[in-house]
């Protein structure tokens, strides 16, 4: 019998504490599995230091909304692990600025794939529809009981490594036309609907893309086509980055980002002027990634070819 669970709403605080402590223990197991010498309780402060070019103890405290002693304790632990350095501020000699040490920068490089795996599994485990926080906690802990948090993260990271080692990006062949169609139709039906323009282009990739000087790339893993993207010519030197789709079972492994990087590298190699794309603001993760790669928002024209599009972006190449 789970006494905390039976307390209902009045036990919310204790339930949240139990879940938090469980996730911290499980995260530590993941760090240990991949030989990462790090304490998950130090993550918030360390992440802020990583993202800033010098930050003070007070700034960390204010950003995290925690007590000054808690921040000081975290800083001391990070200093003991030699992950950070304290420097005297150039303007105010009384102020100490916290920066990453060489060891800290190396840790960031090694731990980032772990953080990505943790973030992915958290998103997967918390995709919960419920009518109350208690119900959400019940479902979440049931998921933890079926497969531990640490095991799910470890398996995802190992699979991601395996996939990335086998990933190959190749050019268009007629035999891939059906994959181009099927991958995109599945994606459109999952997130939106298939517009007439989509059906026309996807059914005739040679006519609308290849024969006009465009390009289509495919992501393959062990000869299985798992993703695709196209560069459709708009006018001289301008191409639309479009029709990007990844098979459902291979999502979450950054295959789409590898396809995007391929398009950007290809554009630079061939002296394109710019890349444009259309999207929808409900795809928050996609918009975030586009911005990460340097795309900026521009006005959507009145005769936009896609009904679902409410945002247009571009990346200047040359």
Look at the block and give the residue holding tokens 């030699």: 82
- Is the domain of 13 the same as that of 137? yes
pLDDT tens, residue by residue, 206-234: 988 999 999 999 999 988 999 999 999 99
Of 90, 122, 157, which residue is a domain's last?
157
> What is the four-CA torsion angle of 81, 25, 117, 278, rounded to 10 degrees?
-100
* Dist CA 250 CA 229 (whole Å): 15
Q: Domain range holding 269? A: 172-316
CATH no. for residue 138? Answer: 1.10.10.10
Of 157, 182, 197, which residue is a domain's last?
157
- Is the domain of 81 the same as that of 208? no
- Is the domain of 107 the same as that of 180? no
Q: How many domains does the chain have?
A: 2
- Is the domain of 151 the same as that of 182? no
pLDDT tens, residue by residue, 5-57: 888 889 899 999 999 999 999 999 999 999 999 999 999 999 999 998 889 99
Mean pLDDT on 70-98: 87
- Is the domain of 197 the same as that of 64? no
pLDDT of 253 reads: 81
- Is the domain of 193 the same as that of 310? yes
């Amino acid at each position: 019998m789970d006494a905390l669970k039976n307390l209902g709403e009045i036990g919310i605080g204790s339930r949240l504490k139990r879940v938090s402590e469980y996730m911290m223990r499980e995260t530590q197991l993941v760090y240990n599995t991949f030989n990462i010498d790090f304490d998950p309780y130090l993550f918030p402060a360390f992440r802020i230091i990583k993202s800033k070019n010098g930050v003070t103890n007070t700034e960390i405290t204010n950003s995290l909304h925690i007590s000054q002693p808690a921040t000081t304790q975290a800083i001391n632990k990070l200093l003991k692990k030699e992950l950070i350095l304290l420097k005297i501020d150039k303007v105010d000699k009384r102020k100490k600025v916290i920066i990453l040490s060489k060891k800290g920068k190396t840790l960031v490089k090694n731990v980032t794939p772990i953080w990505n795996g943790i973030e992915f599994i958290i998103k997967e485990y918390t995709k919960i529809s419920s009518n109350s926080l208690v119900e959400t906690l019940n479902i979440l802990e049931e998921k933890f009981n079926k497969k531990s948090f640490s095991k799910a993260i470890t398996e995802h990271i190992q699979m991601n490594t395996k996939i990335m080692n086998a990933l190959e990006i190749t050019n268009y062949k007629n035999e891939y036309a059906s994959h181009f169609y099927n991958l995109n139709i599945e994606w459109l039906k999952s997130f939106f609907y298939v517009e007439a323009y989509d059906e026309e282009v996807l059914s005739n990739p040679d006519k609308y893309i290849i024969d006009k000087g465009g390009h289509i790339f495919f992501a393959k893993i062990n000869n299985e086509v798992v993703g695709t993207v196209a560069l459709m010519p708009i006018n001289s030197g301008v191409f639309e980055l479009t029709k990007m789709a990844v098979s459902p079972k291979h999502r979450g492994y950054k295959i789409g980002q590898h396809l995007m990087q391929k398009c950007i590298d290809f554009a630079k190699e061939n002296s394109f002027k710019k890349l444009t794309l259309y999207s929808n603001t409900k795809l928050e993760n996609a918009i975030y990634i586009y911005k990460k790669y340097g795309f900026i928002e521009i006005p959507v024209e009145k005769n936009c070819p896609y009904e679902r599009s409410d945002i247009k972006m571009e990346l200047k190449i040359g």
